[in-house]
Structure 1
């Protein structure tokens, strides 16, 4: 009898431990184990979604953190290299094992069930879903593994989940700069963000060693250069501002977060002084969230979008935030 009770206590201890950290309740795996997934339905509560990071047993698993990141975390059991969700639709980028490097973009429905799968030729980098859940985008590295790599190449696709229209590569679209079409062979695109009309989008384009913010028209298959410099844009919920990373010229800390007011053209440097190599996401209308490197792991942070205040940690050992 005593032995049986001891076994039960050991199992309970190994499955999960609840820690109170920085005033927040967090459910994490104990002894390198992976918690039993719970039932999570997209869009039914104010969850913050993150992917676990670092050298831990549940690294790569998507978690839902209740109360917009202030409550306990629950494992979904879904494994992704990049994840994003909106309006009961999610996209999960997953590396596929094999001799040839490739990935899958898996579109998930409300119950996190697979709706569609698209084969991708490379390593997952960026993922986005429009606010309505209709439009889905992804970026993969086809050569290199960093936006600082020499000779890196990316492939960015967009899927209209309502019509089924799939654009495997934005390179099929026509890019215009200063009223003329740009036909450079070294064009790369990455980091899509969608407007509320599910047709307009913003992205990053690079050619001849220069990086541009571009504005796209999905139906017309056209993009226009907006300005030079911004990378990995993220459109605010009200559609008036773009958050993005911008190069500093300092190789030890290559990028800083900025926000552009689309109406006035004013650009604001945010209070996060650390290097941020991420496509920021909007936590709410007044702040953005992003992952930040810490040793062999990353944490999710939040900072005001008007340049004020100081960064605050949202989730430890996590990346790819969405809500």
Structure 2
């Protein structure tokens, strides 16, 4: 009798276990289907990096599907509309009408890092090896200069012991070299400290002047760069990852407002003529190099707290009149191409 009960119990266990396995398989299949077909903005068919020439916002797509990490764009007139997805993967991207700069982690048996200049057809024009994780990149308004930053050590600007490397090059192939080789001036004195770091280049319209971030001794500065003179001059303390406005009159940047050892960044805008700084009413931590949508509006990326690896692009008035609003969902690293 006991043996018969054991056999029956075993049979029931097998049936239940089999049902559980089938249920798990179905659940997993449904999960994968949801992941591959999430509720996300409608996407067009994929193409090369080239776009149709209409004004667009170009960015890194972060929808949690097979298009994750690819360069994408939406019409400037319809940022919530259907997006065009390319076949080009980038970890950081910046585009103009003529070129795209694509910073990439090339994963393989040996992981490498690269900065890639692509023309309007998606062809690689130039490629630079990077010493570590890609961080920032910009192209000048006339598409003649590019700047790019990578981490040498560390992977975040708020971490201890972080080291960066930033270079500027012309799109025709002339390299201006590492910014650490430029003369760095603070209050009329050259800073030659071994802990100097530079990152976050942004270009003006004259192909000589640019702005960047400098750091040394636990301090950061907004610096004005001169390519011909090979100098970097500090003009404002506590400013990082600058972005020059289209009219050239203002510089937006992230400003560390933390009162502790951990960095916490707000967005600030500096009027270059008057020196007036306006801190914008974005209370969340903005670790990004902002982009100007136009002369009165800024764009920036914020990660989604409920979805690791996903993010959105937000917009905010540059005069501090109101808070930010979500501008493009599932997107990162914006550039305005018009």
List aligned pairs for 1:126-141, cutoff 5 A: 126-141=136-151
Cα 1:57/1:98, change in 2 over 3 Å: closer
The CA deviation string for residues 122-153 of structure 1, in whole angstroms up to 9 with x for no partner, is 10010111111111111101101111110000
TM-score when normalising by structure 1: 0.86
| 1:315 equivalenced with 2:334 (yes/no) | no
- CA shift for structure 1 position 98: 5.0
| 1:282 equivalenced with 2:295 (yes/no) | no
The answer (yes or no) to whether the contact 1:18–1:27 under 8 Å persists in 2 is no
Residue ranges of structure 1 left out of the alignment (5+ in a row)? 1-12, 29-34
Distance in 2 of aligned mates of 1:84 and 1:112 = 13
TM-score when normalising by structure 2: 0.83
Distance in 2 of aligned mates of 1:246 and 1:278 = 11
Q: Matched residue of 1:204: which SS?
A: strand
- CA shift for structure 1 position 178: 1.5
- Aligned to 2:274, which of 264, 280, 293? 264
Partner of 1:64: 73
Structure with the higher fraction of residues in helix conformation:
2
The CA deviation string for residues 19-59 of structure 1, in whole angstroms up to 9 with x for no partner, is 7x8xxxx324xxxxxx7413553581111111022643221
Q: Matched residue of 2:125: which SS?
A: strand
Partner of 1:302: 315
Partner of 1:174: 183
Distance in 1 of aligned mates of 2:137 and 2:68 = 18
The number of aligned residues is: 298
List aligned pairs for 1:63-212, cutoff 5 A: 63-68=72-77, 69-98=79-108, 102-162=112-172, 164-212=173-221
Distance in 2 of aligned mates of 1:168 and 1:99 = 30
Structure with the higher fraction of residues in strand conformation:
1
Distance in 2 of aligned mates of 1:200 and 1:101 = 35
The answer (yes or no) to whether the contact 2:58–2:72 under 8 Å persists in 1 is yes
Residue ranges of structure 2 left out of the alignment (5+ in a row)? 1-32
- CA shift for structure 1 position 70: 4.0
